[in-house]
Amino acid sequence: MSDAATPDDGAVLEFLDVMRRLRAECPWNAAQTHRSLARYLLEETHEALEAMDTGDRDHLREELGDLLLQVFLHTAIAEQAGDFTTGDVARDITEKMITRNPHVFGDGPADDLAPAAVNELWESRKALEKQRSSVIEGLAPGLPALLYADKVLDRLSRAGAAPVVPESDDLGDRLLALVAEARASGVDPEQALRDAVRRVL
């Protein structure tokens, strides 16, 4: 990895300083907690998704900035409380990226790996790290239902327990069967439904 600084490094550090100052000097920012900011993180995430769906690059640039604001404000809160620093967060995710991408940072093959093979490598490394005791451990219960179903079916498959989707007239079973069909076809069911809804507007 290169240690050379890029022209944007200064902009990132300046923004971090701005967020730390706002946390220290702005009454509204100083009053916030991780919990009070949770709704804004969710809202900004959905607004970024909207920008991605529409293909509006300027909008996406703005919304990614709003997401960055959330990340830096949360780390400013943690720094002030003595819990962890922005550097801790950056070091953790850097270590994770290096560990889970041995085809880039290790001695594994790189040039001949297809994207699907890279994803399998990532998931295998993740499974070794997490050592989960159940299929749903670590899955956020607030995930959209289609995404949650997709992840559960994926985990069952990876665990060697081929998911059996009931064949019935129950709407839930039929929806789950559609998620399984999407997975078999290599389609993201959550994004497919978002695209379909947009087409009827």
pLDDT one-digit tens code per residue, 97-140: 888 888 888 766 666 777 778 877 777 777 777 666 676 777 88
For residue 170 the two structure tokens come to: 């129950």
- ∠ CA 142-194-169, nearest 5°, is 75
Burial 108-136 (b: 16+ CB within 10 A, else e): eeeeeeeeeebeebbeeeeeeeeeeeebe
> DSSP label at 132?
-
Instruction: Determine the pLDDT at residue 18.
Output: 94
- Straight-line distance from the first to the last Cα atom of the chain, in angstroms, rounded to the nearest whole number: 46
Instruction: Determine the pLDDT at residue 80.
Output: 93
- Nearest alpha carbon to residue 52 among 191, 193, 151: 191
Dihedral angle sign, alpha carbons of residues 61, 62, 64, 65 = positive
Where would I find the H helices in the chain?
Answer: 9-25, 27-31, 34-54, 57-81, 86-100, 102-105, 115-130, 145-158, 171-184, 189-199
Percent of the chain with pLDDT over 70: 91
pLDDT at 4 over 70: no
Q: Residue ranges of the domains in the chain?
A: 9-98, 101-131, 137-201
Q: What's the topology of domain 9-98?
A: Helix Hairpins (1.10.287)
Query: Phi and psi (nearest 5°) for 41?
Result: -60, -40
Instruction: Determine the pLDDT at residue 3.
Output: 54
Q: How confident is the model at residue 1 (pLDDT cuts 50, 70, 90)?
A: very low
- Nearest alpha carbon to residue 119 among 131, 101, 106: 101
Any residues with CB less than 8 A from the CB of 86 and at least 6 apart, and which? 16, 72, 75, 76, 79
